Amino acid sequence: MTTEAKGSEDSLDELGKHYRSLVGGGVVGWDASRPFLECLGIGGQGVVYLSERRGVDGFTIPVALKVFSPDRFQSQSEYLAEMARLATVASKVARIQQDHLVDIQNVISDNGVYVLEMEWIDGYDLRRLLTPDAYGHVREQVTDRRWQSINQVVITQGPQQPRLRPGTAASVIRECLSALAAMHRHGIVHNDIKPSNVMLKRSGNVKIIDIGAAFELEDRPAMQPCTPIYAAPEVLEGKPGTPASDLASTGYMLIEMLSGEQPFAGMNFKEMLEAKRSAFDWLPGTLPIEEFAVTEPLLRLLHGLVDPDPLSRFPSAEEAELDSGGVAEFQRELVQAGVTSEYEAEIRHWIDEVEAEFQLQDPSDNPAGEFLPATRIFNPNAEQADQDTTNPAS
């Protein structure tokens, strides 16, 4: 045997010894550093970055990292207590493994600052897709015939922003409800449903993301973050969020998707609360006249989601999806009206067209800017006091 062959054999023996030591040791470790490759957004709770998990021989897989800021807390102990609660929630969400819910992969602490690691989703959030820029760009990319089809089936012009056609909106909402139903069955409230937290993948599927405001029903946070214009009226009144409040947020998002405008934008606290309490009065006027054929079933669905009384909403997200007056029934109405389509395929095609040679920007025109409206701690008494100070005569 040559010296070279003998050396190779010795090296293989050493490798074999390390293998047996490894599998017998019950633990394996490696470098877990994550580079910040791109800022995906800045919100009320912190910053989200695109990163990647790295292995050997050039292996990489993209991930998303949410770094939680301590700035909104009164003390370090308050921050750490909230982060510990969030880590418990994240661990439970990670075990749900629902197709339309973001995969949670880890929670770590770097010198006391907490970081949530999630799957990176190959697609775009609804807020970015429902912008005039994205809509106008598609017109530049497609033929007149395809443009007509897009406007008939997927998305068309709205008063303030593009609006989704009812069948496409229903397809998106149904998958959101499916994810929420899974969370609710495990006793978890998402607590921040809004367009920027709903991702449309290139596959045409939907994923709910960002569990930074989520909590367990049995362990509610001392401070309840929310996004006020999408929050249920009872949450604005200072009551704790529930599965029913997630349904209301989903309903407000659906109204925006269908109407092409955010119904509560620009309102102060008092106006917003009153508008949500009186939703049945103004809701019919928000639905475009072009959708007259499906207005009645749409109103039934919306009533079950945004009823001012949480006890009068759908009893659960699953029933909002599948029961009488729910999304599935609305989709059957579309079939009977002869206006159904392969919405998943249409969404997939639409996203491809949006992306072609186009850098999709945040609506604020600042890709690292805040995802307004931001998630924040909401104090009803303080909001009312601020309004009274600003408008003492009101």
Residue 309 belongs to domain with CATH number: 1.10.510.10
CA dist 149 and 137 (Å) reads 16
SS3 state at 29: coil
Strand partners, 200: 124, 206
Residue 232 sits in the same domain as residue 354: yes
Q: Where are the alpha helices (DSSP H) in the chain?
A: 3-25, 76-94, 126-129, 132-141, 144-153, 166-185, 233-236, 243-259, 269-277, 279-286, 295-306, 317-322, 327-337, 343-355, 380-390
In the listed set 82, 102, 119, which residue is the last one of a domain according to the structure? 119
Residue 98 belongs to domain with CATH number: 3.30.200.20
Contact criterion met (CB below 8 Å) for 193 and 126? no
Task: Tally Cβ neighbours within 10 Å of residue 223.
Answer: 14
Residue 53 sits in the same domain as residue 185: no
Whether the predicted pLDDT of 1 surpasses 60: no
The 10s digit of each residue's pLDDT in 6-51 is 556 678 989 999 999 989 988 888 878 899 999 998 888 899 999 9
Mode of pairing for the β-strands spanning 104-110 and 46-54: unpaired
Q: Which domain holds residue 115?
A: 38-119
Residue 214 sits in the same domain as residue 301: yes
Identity at 259, one-letter amino acid code: S
Strand partners, 51: 63
84 Cβ neighbours under 8 A, 6+ residues apart: none
Q: What is the pLDDT of residue 2?
A: 59
Residue 114 sits in the same domain as residue 127: no
Which among 169, 198, 326, 176 has a CA at the least distance from the CA of 258? 169
> How many domains, in total, are found in the chain?
2
Q: What is the pLDDT of residue 223?
A: 78
* Model confidence band, residue 279 (pLDDT cutoffs 50, 70, 90): very high
The 10s digit of each residue's pLDDT in 138-153 is 998 899 999 999 999 9
CA dist 191 and 377 (Å) reads 12
Is the pTM value of this prediction over 0.85?
A: yes
